[in-house]
Structure formats: C-alpha cells, structure tokens
Structure 1
Amino acid sequence: MKNNIYKQIKNIYKSHKKYHFSKKSEFNWLKLKNILKNKLYDNNKKNFLKYINNNILINNQNLLISMNKLEKFLFKIDAITLCFINGKINKNISNLNNIYYDIDITKYNTINFKNINFQHNIYTYLSESLTKEIVTINIHNKTNINIKPIYLVYFNINNEKNKIFMSNYRNYIYLNNKYPLILIEHHININYLYLNNIYNTLILNNNVRLEYYQFITNENKNKNYYIMNNEFYLYNNVFFKKYDLLMSNKYIEQNNNFKFIGEKSKLVYKSISLAKNNNLVNLNNYVEHDEKNCCSIQKHKIITLDNSFINSIGLLKINKNAIKTDGQINYSSLLLSKSSKINIQPGLDILNHDVKCAHSVFTGKLDYNQIFFLRMRGISFKKAYNILLISFILDSLKEINFNNLKKEFLKKLLFYLSVENFFHEF
C-alpha cells in the first residue's frame, strides 16, 4: 500500500513540475518523498495511507462550472467571493478585480516568510510541492471603512468512483487594515471522492481587527477528506476572533498554529466540531506567546455520535519574555452514543511566573435529570433532549456579530443533528 501511494504521488509530481517547478516545490517534494519511503510511521502518515488505501489518486483537473450551480450551496451574504474549484481559482466566477483587495495568482512559490514557526507535516509538503497556484491576498490601509467581507469557497467535483481527486492549495493573506475585516472560508462537499488539502498563512500586522470563519459542510452525507493547516502571526495591538464549525466527513484534520510576535494583542478562538457515523476528526491547536501583555481565550465544543471519534490536542506555550500574559483553554464535549469516542489533551508550557493561565475539560452526556425536569412541565422527551443539545451549542454562537452567518450556522447545525427548529415556540 505504501509503495503504491508513493508511486502515484511520484508520477503526479513528475507531471506537475513541467508547468509549476520551483526550487521551493522541489525541496518540499524531497521532504515528502523521504516521509513516504521511510518505514517509520507518524500519525499523519498512518492516517494518510489508511484513508487513501488502494484508491487511484488524481491531481485534480480544471472543470467548467457556472455560478448558477454554485449558488444553492453558498451563503447569502454580500461579499467579495473567490471560488476555488478542483485546485485552482475559477477566474470567471470570482471577484478578482475589486476595490477592496489586491489578489495575486502565480504558478511558483517564491515566498519565504521570515517568522516561519510551523511544524510541517505530510500535508504541508503535499501542498507546497503540488499546488498549481499560489494565491496572495493583500488588504491595505484603505480610506473606505465599510470593507466587504472576503468569501473563500472551496468546491470540488469528482464523478468517478474509486478515484480520489486531490486538490492542494497554498494561500498567503496579508492584513494591514485598521478597520474591521471579515474573512469566511467555506468548504462544500457535494459528491465523492476527493481530498481537499489547504495550507494558509495569515499575517496580521499592527492594529488589525479580524473575524475569521472556517466552515465545513456536509451537504449530501458524502465521505471525503479535508486537511487544513493554518498559521497565524499576530503583531502589535491585534484583535483576532476565529470561529470554526466542522461537520465530519470521512476524515478531517485541522492544525492551527498561532504566534504572538507583538504586544497587546488578543485572540478569541471558538469552535464547534461534530462527528457521526464512523468518521475521524483530528484537531491540533498550538498557541505561542512571545511578547508581553497579550491574551488568548479558547473555547471548544465537541459532539460525537454513532461510532465517530474526535481527537483534540491543544498546547499553550508562554515564553520568558511574555510577561502579563492571560491564556485560557476550555473544552466541553458531549458523547451522544455509547460507541462514540472523544480524546482531549490540553497542555500548558509556561516559562515565566508573571502570567495568568487556566485550562479546563468537561466530557459527559446530556443530563437526564434536566430532561425529566422539562418533561414534568409538559415538554416531550424529544423536544427536551433537543433543547439541551442546542443550548450546549448556542453559547459558542452568541458572540458572532455577523447575523446572516449566525443564521446559516444554526440552520446547518439543526440539519446535521436532525433537530427541529422549535425556537419560535418559546
């Protein structure tokens, strides 16, 4: 199995480098080659080989698609939309020319960001070596305060069974605007089988205000593979809110690395992760404070059903210079069936004493005493169960300022959990 996958990727790279060769892609290919040929297995490699199995792996080809076909899957929001389809931006249906953002697309990656702090893995090497386009988005100091949100849509199409269509992306986003910005990343799953592999670098320069939403939907209950590697660099006086809603596919892996390289910055990170059937979700969050007077608050909600498994690991590191740091990690999780599993491992690595840090973990099931309390007041068992389940989730949504997006989040959650919309009754 290992050799089969290696041979497939080797052939893909040979074809790919005819049009997209660079020293950086070659360097990353050699790293990837060593991992695949090495007999030692790390978790990334084991998962990659396990889920790709003996399927035929194909580097995605360009396919024509109209905006009419996409519209029924998109959020109804007024935004600058970039549509990534099968590994490339579709220029015909994307708002590349606009007054808010400078968008640059190149075939070769020659960018070497000096503060690289990311722990590379098999997926980042895949992205760096096989990406067809390097997308750079710049948001400058504009005089217009009301900047439209930017909406990144990842949409893959595969109509061939037993073949996994692979899309690799490498994006750089530079934020320099002092006015509030909204960034939405939406992964749309409509058919089988594909692997969506994205590597993002976001540089938040001084005084940036950003809300960033990352959203995976499962429209037709298909079983696909999503890998997201995100690195964030926060300079001085940054206020950064991140919200994730991840609905399980066959396999999801998300690696987030946050680094505070400036003073007086704040991160608020909230996520809701759901898994059902036999799906696996791996979540890894690493936050490193390098400068003083910064704050990071993480609140993660996890729900598993059926035979699913969510593995969530978080590490908060505070270096010697990061005095007056306030760091918090909170995990709350619900097991909705006996066969589902959740593994949570929060960690603190604190190298000075002048800080305030805390972490907490709660894992359990819905309280049947509370269900009994509601039933004694005339509410049916199903409705009482749903009220408690949605109440557990709503806490993570209440601070979202973008009302249209909040409604979309809630609608997708209710559909995913097969919960009726009963709020109008109370």
Structure 2
Amino acid sequence: MENKIYKQLKNIYKLHKKYHFSKKSENYWYKLKNLLKKKQYNNKKIFFEYINNNIIVNNQKLSINIDELQNFLFKIDAVILFFINGKIDKNISNINNAYYLINIRKHNNINFKKYFFKHNIYSYLSESLTKEIVSINCKKSFNTKPLYLVYFNKDNKNKKNFMSNYRNYIHIDSINPIILIEHHININQLYLNNIFNTLILNNNTKLEYYNFITNENNNKNYCTINNEYYLYNNVSFKKYDLLMSSKYIEQNNRFHFIGQKSKLKYKSLSFAKNNNLINLNNYVEHDGKNCCSIQKHKAIALDNSIINLISLLKINKFAIKTDGQINYSSLLLSKLSTINIQPGLDILNNNVKCTHSVFTGKIDYNQIFFFRMRGVNFQKAYNILYMSFILDSLKEINNDNLRNFFLKKISCYLSVENFFHEF
C-alpha cells in the first residue's frame, strides 16, 4: 500500500498545493504521510485496501442542472448548498440568503483553537486536500429556514475512484430551533466522499440534525464522515442518522459537553447488505454539570455484510449529575451477516446516572407463526416484524416530509411492500 497509495496521494498533493497551499494544509499532509508509512495501517480494512491503484481527485469543474437532482431530493423549503465534485456549485446553491452567512475560502487557514477531534487518515485527507473551506454562521433571525447540504458527484466515466474532500465549520448561535440536513446521494458511479465537519452549538441553541447516506440502486461507492460537536450551556441537540450501505461507510462522531444543562438525543439506523461494510464510532465526553446524552442505535445486516458499532461515554470528575445512556439493538437477517457491538463507559465521578444495553438477534419465527394463524402471509408477517423494529426510531421525527423520506428509502432498500398506513 505504501508504494501504490502514497505515490498517488503525493502526486495529488503536488497539484493541489499549486492553488490551495497553506501552512495548515501542509502540516496535515506531513501527518498523513507519516501515518501511511506506519505498518499497522496496512492491516486495517479501510478504504485504501479496496481501491488498488484507482484513485484520483475529481478536480473537474462541472456545471449541473438543478433538474438532474430533483428526483433525489425531498421536498422542503430550505437554504440548499450543493457540493458537487469537491466544491460548492455557486450557480445552483443559495449562497446569498437572509438566514445563514456563508463564507468560502480557497485556503485552509481557519484556526479553531478548541480541537477535540482525534484525527485519522480521513480527517488528514480533508484538512490537506480540500479545495474549499466552508464556514456557515446562523444569523439571528426569526423563523429560520432549514439548512440542506447535498453531496453529489457527476460524470465519472472512466471507472476510476474519484475522491472529493470537504472541510466545513458550522456555528449555530440562535435561540430559534434550527434544522440541519446532510444528504449524500450515491448514484451508480465510483467515488469517495470524505467530509470533516466542526459544529459549534452556542448557549441556548436548539438543533435538529439529519444525516442521510442513501443508496440509489448501487453499492460501489464510499463515504467517510468525521464530525466534532461542541455543546455549550443549555443546548438541545437532536441527531438522526440513516446509513444505507454503499461499498464502505465510516462515520466518526465526537461530542464534547463544555457547558451545563445541555442535552443530546442521538438515534441512528444502519442497513448493510451484499458484502458491504459500515463502521459507526461514537465518543461522548462530559465536562459540564447536569447534562444528558441519550444514544439509541439500531442496525440490520443482510447477506454477508458487516456492521461495526463502537461507542465510548466518558464522564469527567467535574461533570456531576450527568445522565448518560447507550442502547444498541440489531437484527441479523442472514446467517452470513455480522454485527459487532462494543459499548464502553469511562466514569470518573460517583454522582452520575449511566446505563448501557445491547440486543442482537433475528426474527422470531414463533411470531411469524402467530401472524400466519391469523391469515397474514409469510412475507407480509416478516415485513411487519422488522418494520416494527425500525419504526420506533422514527416516531420522534416531527417533520412529516423527513419521516416519509426515511420510510420510502427504507422500503425500497429492503423491498418492503407498501403497508406503512397500517402503523
């Protein structure tokens, strides 16, 4: 891997630095180079083991017609930013709006001093090879529209793996509820979308954050997301993830409770089939008093796919009266599928309330027999059981368009007949 991947990335960086050089990106490039040369990295099942020699940066500046994307988007009145082939498409994005101040920098020179994220090979790629650094600040206005971030790649016709890197800073400072939607549209092309987000949630912020990685009848591409969140005083943060297998998905989340009386409610649904791989890693650290973090993760694996779910909750000695919960539930729908779950607690004071639980199983055929005795055929009974397992995670989504979008994608992915009205 050192000979193949490193040489390709070195050539990419040489071209990149001609137009986007900064001391910060150069520093991260050296860290990436040193990491690639470490022997232990060669043994990990990461993106670079799948692609062999086919990796280039998609630096083509291609225009796109908004009509090409309408079929993939859900209907919502929002401020939309389209990230196409590694850059924001300024022609179709709502850059100038009354709700968010959006700055686009050509050079990576934002010095954010509260770095909490534990860097990995993908975050180094974002920091060193991103073409545009995007900072988004929420303006203090009433009835703020949702912010809708769309990631899409176009015109990959030579069967190589295109790599698009992004680095975003999002600062929310508003007492009005904000909705943030991140949508990765996977079409029948070969590419890696690599995103690194920093979100700062200031005092009294209320944020609902939806992250969709949706599968459009293919499983060829790769998506890696690194997120770091900073929660100050009296923050209400709800996060919902829908991860549908591409060839490879990795999401690393790190939540840092800096202030007091803040609450995180995080729910995720992960689906994998064929021979695909999903890694979901969550790290939550409490430094503030009287805070609450609730995580509920569900996963369904089919065929010979693999889902890895890892979580660590750390409560420091000054974070008294913390309420921390981690819950994992998973279904194996094939004898060859694998789900690995690893919750962890690191508690450094006694005045806390913490729980964690894990459930892994399969469809209970006694329950299917119960349905069949009442005139429900086998396929419909099977569908009802695993849809009832899923729907519990969706009931708290207040936006009907978002909830219906979830249900539509899940039904297509699992080939479930249309009986949602029965619930």
TM-score tier, shorter chain, comes to over 0.9
- What's the counterpart of residue 2 of structure 1? 2
Structure 1: gaps spanning 5 or more residues: none
1:232-271 alignment, distance < 5 Å: 232-271=229-268
SS of aligned partner of 1:2 = coil
- Return the letter of the residue paired with 2:274: N
Matched-pair contact (CA < 8 Å) for 1:2–1:49: no
Please, what is the CA RMSD of the aligned residues? 1.2
In structure 1, the residue matched to 2:349 is 352
What is the CA-CA distance between 1:42 and the residue it aligns to? 6.8
User: Hey, what does 2:37 align to over in structure 1?
Assistant: 37
Spell out the pairing of 1:24-423 with structure 2 (5 A cutoff): 24-41=24-41, 46-142=45-141, 144=142, 146-423=143-420
8 Å CA contact 1:158–1:193 kept in 2: the answer is: no
Q: Which amino acid aligns with 2:9?
A: I
Contact 2:47–2:222 (Cα < 8 Å) also in 1: no
Report sequence identity in percent.
75
Residue 52 of structure 1: CA displacement? 2.1
Give the Cα separation in 1 of the matches to 2:422 and 2:27: 60
Distance in 2, matches of 1:349 and 1:87, equals 38
**Any idea what SS the aligned residue of 2:13 has?**
helix
Q: Deviations over 1:107-141 (max 9, x none)?
A: 11222222211110000000000000000000132
Measure, in 2, the Cα distance between the counterparts of 1:7 and 1:64.
30
Instruction: Report the Cα distance in structure 1 between the residues aligned to 2:170 and 2:10, rounded to whole angstroms.
Output: 30
In structure 1, C-alpha distance between the alignment counterparts of 2:200 and 2:422, rounded to whole Å: 45
Q: Which amino acid aligns with 2:181?
A: I
* 8 Å contact kept, 2:300–2:330: yes
- Please report how far the alpha carbon of residue 161 of structure 1 lies from its aligned counterpart in structure 2 after TM superposition: 3.8
Superposed, 1:6-25 pairs within 5 Å as 6-25=6-25
- 1:371 alignment partner AA: I
In the aligned structure 2, how far is the partner of 1:171 from the partner of 1:16?
18
Moved over 6 A (4+): none
Q: Do 1:188 and 1:217's aligned partners in 2 also have CA atoms closer than 8 Å?
A: yes
Normalising by the residue count of structure 2, what TM-score does the alignment of the two structures yield?
A: 0.98
In structure 2, runs of 5+ residues without a counterpart are none
Superposed displacement of residue 90, structure 1: 0.1
Preserved CA contact (<8 Å) 2:185 2:213: yes
CA shift for structure 1 position 159? 2.6
Question: How far off its partner does 1:46 sit?
Answer: 4.4
Give the Å deviation of 1:55.
1.7
What letter corresponds to residue 219 of structure 1 in structure 2? E
Contact 1:161 1:193 in 2 (8 A): no
In the TM superposition, residue 158 of structure 1 has moved relative to its aligned partner by 3.9
Contact 1:158 1:194 in 2 (8 A): no
Q: Which deviates more from structure 2 when the two are superposed, residues 113-122 or residues 343-352?
A: 113-122
Shift of 1:425: 5.3
CA–CA separation in structure 2 for the residues paired with 1:158 and 1:225:
16
Once residues 33 and 288 of structure 2 are traced to their aligned partners in structure 1, the CA distance between those partners, rounded to angstroms, is: 37
| Residue aligned with 1:71, SS | coil
TM-score scaled by length of structure 1: 0.97
The amino acid across from 1:30 in the alignment is Y
**SS where residue 370 of structure 2 aligns?**
helix
Q: Which residue identity is paired with 2:50?
A: Y
* Contact 2:311-2:343 at 8 Å conserved across structures: yes
**Do the aligned partners of 2:55 and 2:163 also contact (CA within 8 Å) in 1?**
no
CA contact (8 A) 1:279 1:308 kept: yes
Q: How many residues align?
A: 423
Q: 1:237, CA displacement in angstroms? A: 0.1
Q: Residue type of the partner of 1:10?
A: K
C-alpha spacing 1:165/1:158, structure 2 compared with 1 (3 Å): farther
Separation in 1 of the partners of 2:419 and 2:37?
54
Name which of structure 1's ranges 154-163 and 274-283 shifts more when overlaid on structure 2: 154-163
Check the 8 A contact 2:273/2:305 in 1, yes or no.
yes
Cα drift, residue 77 of structure 1: 0.8
The residue type equivalent to 2:163 in the other structure is M
